[in-house]
Every structure is written in C-alpha cells, then in structure tokens.
Chain A
Amino acid sequence: MPEEKDVTADPGANEQRPPVKKTLPPLTSSRPAGGAARSLPPIASARPAGQPAARAAATPTPASQQLPDTSAPTAARPPAPPPVAPVKPTPTSEPQSASTASAPKPPAEIRKPKQDKPPENDNGIWRMSRKNFLNVASWFSFIGFLATATLGAIRLMVPRVLYEAPSAFKAGFPDDFIIGEVNEKYKDEYRVWIVRNEEGFYALSAICTHLGCTPRWLDTENKFKCPCHGSGYHRDGVNFEGPTPRPLERLKITLADDGQLLIDRNIKFLYEKQEWTKSEAFLKYS
C-alpha cells in the first residue's frame, strides 16, 4: 500500500510510462537531475513567468531567454509621466518615458533579470496628478471608510450602560452593626465585608488577592478562606496561609450626610503600601 500511495496520481508519469505500479521508479527520479536545480525550491522550475523579482532573481536563466521579455513591457506600457527626480543613469534601470524608450538600448548582457521592475520614482496609484486625482481620492475615501468603520466597531464593544451594582453604596446606620462581627450583608451584591470593632469600622473587599475569587468568612475558625486555592486571611484582612501574596484590600468608608455608612469600592487601600493608616481606610466610631 505505501508504494501505491507514493505515486498517487501523477498524470504526467502515467502518460509517459505504462501504468504498472510495481515497476515505477520512486518519485524523485522523475524530477530533473542536477545539483543546481535541486537546490532551488521544488516548484521553482515549474513557475510561470511574472513571479516576484526575488524568486525570479534566484533562477539563473540565460540572457537570451530574457530578451523578448525585456522589450515587451516597455512597448506595451502607456507612456509614463515625466519623472519627478532626475533618473540615475544606471544600466539596469528601465526607460522612464516614451522619449527615452526610443533611445538605443543598452547591450543585452548587462540587462540582468528584474525586467518587471516598475520605473523609478513612480508612486504607482499614489501618483499625484490631475488625471490620477480621482483614483487617489477614491483610495483615500476607501481607507478612511475602513478606518472609521473599524474604530466604530471597537467603540461599539465598549458598553455605555452597565447592569452592575454601583461602585459606591450606603450600608445602613452604624449603630445597627454588632461590635466584633464580620457583616456579610453586602457581600453578595457588592463583594464587601463590613467589620465593626471597638474603635470603629473598616470595609474589606471580598476579592481574593491571589486570583480574584470570592473568599468565605468562616466564623468558627475566625478567618477568611478562599475556596479556589486555599488562601487564608485573618479578620483584619492580613493573609497568613495559602498562595496569596498580600492582604485583602480595604475600601473607602465614611459617614454620609444622613448618618449612614458610605462605602466607595473605587477607592482602595493597600496594606503593603501602608495605606491602611489613612483616615478613609478606617472609620472611627464609638
């Protein structure tokens, strides 16, 4: 079976040889031999004309074969506009206009491949001229349209309205909290614990500082414990076990004008930056 697969569907081989599979030589022998051809990319020899100049330049072909191609594009192309800058008189450069095209051609042997090269100093479709103005303008408007549409699509992906809990919220009156209790009333909606001790209040963000899960408050063990990877925190938010690198974050807690606790989840206080000592990180209340 491998031998049948090996010669799978080679129509050329079939025409030349009797279709006896066993006697067919391996694939490689049907290719032209010769070191120079083998070092090329396998399909280079089968390539039609008009390939990119880089590939074409790698194929050394006799100059006599190139000659018909040399004259053809020059004659077929409509006269190019006059060059903007003076053309370097290099022998490989193409004639720049109709007037120079009729000039005597340089000898054939120094005209290497690259006959498909565009004229120098030709801006192609970006050529600014009266005739080409609509062309350039069309491209500008097309690119402008694409850019605008892309930017609009990106902007569309940024929602203007969020159906999420507001970042700042009122958490009731201070006297409703029990001293020494970790209050979980606002955990589900706002992911915040409010802790009342003898001196006052602090608000802990219920976002594990390891990877962002929501820890649980274990009252009997007097600690916060994250179910995802086992990080543990003391009642004050300082970590003591598990993979977490730093304590829980505290949030801005103040008294609103009506006397309720006001918590702003956008303002965070980080222990490792010595921010827990700031006034808004702890609400003194007795």
Chain B
Amino acid sequence: MLGMLDQLKAKWEKTEVYKSIFRHSYQDTQRNRALQIVDNVFLHLHPVRISRHATNVGFTWGMGGITFLLFIVLTITGVILMFYYRPAAEYAYDDMKYLMNDVAFGPLMRNMHRWAAHAMVITVMLHMFRVFLTGSYKPPRQFNWVIGVILLTLTLFLSFTGYLLPWDQLAIWAVTVGTNMARATPLLGHEGPFGPELGMRIDNDVRFVLLGGTQVGPPTLLRFYVLHCIFLPLVGAILMIVHFWRIRKDGGISGPDVDSKKV
C-alpha cells in the first residue's frame, strides 16, 4: 500500500503540472533555497541575502512586515464584507447590523477588519518610530522615507473613509467634524487662506468635492466607499511595491557599519 503511494508520489512529482508549480525540490542547500526565493514572483521581493542584524527582531521590531500582514488581513476581510454591504444611505446601516447579527461569521469578519484597521495605524506609527530611531530615513533611504510618509497618510485616510461606512450617528458626526478641517484648506477651502479670494464657496471648494455635497450625505457615503475599497488600496498597494523594492535598492535594512567589529 505504502509502496503504491510512493510510486504515485514519484509519478506526480514528475508531471509537468507539479514542476510548473513547485519548480524546486526541498533540498536544503543554499543554492536551492536561493532559487526558491528568486524563482517565485511573490517571494522574490525578499532579498537573496540579508545581513545578520536584519534578522534581529529587537532592531526592526518587525513592524513593517506586521503592517503589511495587517494590510493583507484587511484586504481579505474587506472583500468578504463587500459581499453583504451596500453603500447606499437606505441600506448601509441595516447591512452593517445584518452582518453583525445574522451573517455566519459576519461579526468575526467585521471585527477582524475593525481591529486590524486600528492595529495598522498603530504599527505604521511604530514602524516610523523605529525608522526614525535607527536613522533609517537618512540618505540613501530618504526617498523611501517620503514614500513611507505618503503611505502613512493613505493609511490614515483609509481609516477615516472606513469610519463613515457603518452610517450610524457616530460615523456621520465624526466625519462631519473631520471634514470640517477641509474648509480651512489654503487656496482650495472656502474658509482657508486665500480661498475666498480665489472664488471658493461652500459649494465648489475641496470639501465639497470630497463630500459630494455641502454636508455629509448619501453622496459622501458612496464616495468614501469607492475611495475606501478601490482607490486608496490600489494606490497604497502600488506604493507598497515601490517601498519594498526600494529597501533592497537602498542596500537592505539599515544597520550599523558592517565593517565594525561590534556587529
């Protein structure tokens, strides 16, 4: 019986399908391990080799990787929530209640989405804090720092747009308060510096474009939904690719001088 299984396994491993998917054996040689990384479109973002200090959790805290993991969690749970949520004022609140009370595993998905969103803001902050403490924003990594700052604002804006979607009193008034800041945008806000001089009114300034109206209403819900589910994740994912690629181009994870004896 076992011999038959072994035969089947050997046969399966010789098929075109198997070799297309796995490509390499599990042979634990350094060459094979390198090939497993560089021949895989997802894994090849990893550097082929890393320095000793980069594996030290105490140095990086792993916060960038945790942030990316949370982004993946948010993407998966968010797509699942989209199967039940309709971004219209008539349905949004009821759909949220439906998810929380009657959908199987609905509360789990929504709570995962909510807590991962909170955690992602925190981990992004901690990641930037670590980068600041280790001086990793300095040349040659200054470009990646700027990408990271844009990613921070995208994370906050994702958090803000997602806040409105439950369409309850907390969401509406929190977004009302939050978007009132946009009134004071320089040049583009009707209460900001040089805004009125440039012809900005409440019904044509940047806040109006953001809300799709002069107050938080059904057009705002739809706009924030599209921003939250399509636009911001797309831009964020593209910038994340640049961010990860740039780490390698800038010489990997920063660290002490590699020639120093103290390493």
Query: A residues bordering B, Cβ < 8 Å?
Result: 2, 5-11, 13-15, 19, 26-28, 31, 38, 41-43, 154, 157-159, 162-164, 211-213, 228
Q: Contacts A9-B49, A42-B251, A213-B177 given: A2-B55 contact, CB under 8 Å?
A: yes
Task: Find A8's partner among B29, B49, B140, B177 (CB 8 Å cutoff).
Answer: B49
CB-based closest 9 A-B pairs? A9-B34, A14-B30, A211-B177, A42-B251, A9-B33, A212-B180, A11-B34, A14-B31, A6-B52
**0/1 string, B46-58, CB within 8 A of A gives 1:** 0011111001000
> Contact between B30 and A7 (Cβ–Cβ < 8 Å)?
yes
Within the complex, the shortest CB–CB distance from B71 to chain A, in Å, comes to 24
**0/1 string, B24-49, CB within 8 A of A gives 1:** 00000111011111100000000011
In the complex, which residues of chain A have a beta carbon less than 8 angstroms from the beta carbon of B263? Answer: 28
A-B contact list, 15 entries, CB within 8 Å: A5-B55, A9-B30, A9-B33, A9-B48, A10-B49, A11-B34, A14-B29, A28-B259, A38-B258, A42-B251, A157-B209, A157-B212, A158-B209, A162-B203, A163-B219
In the complex, which residues of chain A have a beta carbon less than 8 angstroms from the beta carbon of B217? Answer: 163-164
CA distance A279 to B259 in the complex (A): 80
In the complex, which residues of chain B have a beta carbon less than 8 angstroms from the beta carbon of A162? Answer: 203, 213-214
Q: How many A-B Cβ pairs are below 8 Å?
A: 92
**0/1 string, B108-145, CB within 8 A of A gives 1:** 00000000000000000000000000000000100000
In the complex, which residues of chain A have a beta carbon less than 8 angstroms from the beta carbon of B34? Answer: 8-11, 14
In the complex, which residues of chain A have a beta carbon less than 8 angstroms from the beta carbon of B159? Answer: none
CA distance A42 to B258 in the complex (A): 10
Choose among B31, B38, B217 the residue with the greatest number of A CB atoms under 10 Å from its CB: B31
In the complex, which residues of chain B have a beta carbon less than 8 angstroms from the beta carbon of A28? Answer: 51, 258-259, 263
Whether B252 is near chain A, meaning CB under 8 Å from some CB there, is yes
> Contact between A27 and B49 (Cβ–Cβ < 8 Å)?
yes
Whether B225 is near chain A, meaning CB under 8 Å from some CB there, is no
Nearest chain B residue, comparing its CB with the CB of A191? B215
Task: Find A163's partner among B30, B50, B208, B218 (CB 8 Å cutoff).
Answer: B218
> Contact between A11 and B30 (Cβ–Cβ < 8 Å)?
yes
Query: B residues bordering A, Cβ < 8 Å?
Result: 29-31, 33-38, 48-52, 55, 140, 173, 176-177, 180, 203-204, 208-209, 212-215, 217-219, 249, 251-252, 258-259, 263
Nearest chain A residue, comparing its CB with the CB of B260? A28
In the complex, which residues of chain B have a beta carbon less than 8 angstroms from the beta carbon of A31? Answer: 258
In the complex, which residues of chain B have a beta carbon less than 8 angstroms from the beta carbon of A43? Answer: 249, 251
> Contact between B251 and A5 (Cβ–Cβ < 8 Å)?
no
Nearest chain A residue, comparing its CB with the CB of B210? A157
In the complex, which residues of chain A have a beta carbon less than 8 angstroms from the beta carbon of B212? Answer: 157, 159
Task: Find A213's partner among B31, B173, B208 (CB 8 Å cutoff).
Answer: B173
> Contact between A26 and B215 (Cβ–Cβ < 8 Å)?
no
CA distance A164 to B140 in the complex (A): 52
CA distance A15 to B30 in the complex (A): 9
Q: Contacts A19-B30, A158-B204 given: A10-B48 contact, CB under 8 Å?
A: yes
In the complex, which residues of chain B have a beta carbon less than 8 angstroms from the beta carbon of A213? Answer: 173, 176-177
Task: Find A164's partner among B36, B48, B55, B214 (CB 8 Å cutoff).
Answer: B214
> Contact between B52 and A158 (Cβ–Cβ < 8 Å)?
no
Nearest chain A residue, comparing its CB with the CB of B215? A164
> Contact between B52 and A27 (Cβ–Cβ < 8 Å)?
yes
Nearest chain B residue, comparing its CB with the CB of A21? B30
In the complex, which residues of chain A have a beta carbon less than 8 angstroms from the beta carbon of B213? Answer: 159, 162-164
> Contact between B52 and A228 (Cβ–Cβ < 8 Å)?
no
Nearest chain B residue, comparing its CB with the CB of A211? B177
Q: Contacts A7-B49, A41-B251 given: A228-B173 contact, CB under 8 Å?
A: yes
CA distance A6 to B253 in the complex (A): 13
> Contact between B31 and A11 (Cβ–Cβ < 8 Å)?
yes
Nearest chain A residue, comparing its CB with the CB of B48? A9
In the complex, which residues of chain B have a beta carbon less than 8 angstroms from the beta carbon of A228? Answer: 173, 177
A9-B30, A19-B30, A157-B212 are known contacts; what are 4 more A-B pairs with Cβ within 8 Å?
A: A14-B31, A27-B258, A158-B209, A211-B176
Within the complex, the shortest CB–CB distance from B105 to chain A, in Å, comes to 34
Task: Find B208's partner among A19, A154, A158, A211 (CB 8 Å cutoff).
Answer: A158
CA distance A154 to B219 in the complex (A): 16
Nearest chain A residue, comparing its CB with the CB of B173? A213
In the complex, which residues of chain A have a beta carbon less than 8 angstroms from the beta carbon of B51? Answer: 6, 27-28
Nearest chain A residue, comparing its CB with the CB of B169? A227
CA distance A158 to B204 in the complex (A): 7
In the complex, which residues of chain B have a beta carbon less than 8 angstroms from the beta carbon of A212? Answer: 176-177, 180
Nearest chain B residue, comparing its CB with the CB of A229? B177
Within the complex, the shortest CB–CB distance from A37 to chain B, in Å, comes to 11
CA distance A19 to B50 in the complex (A): 18
Q: Contacts A9-B48, A28-B258, A41-B251 given: A19-B29 contact, CB under 8 Å?
A: yes
CA distance A78 to B94 in the complex (A): 70
In the complex, which residues of chain B have a beta carbon less than 8 angstroms from the beta carbon of A19? Answer: 29-30
In the complex, which residues of chain A have a beta carbon less than 8 angstroms from the beta carbon of B49? Answer: 7-10, 27
CA distance A52 to B212 in the complex (A): 45
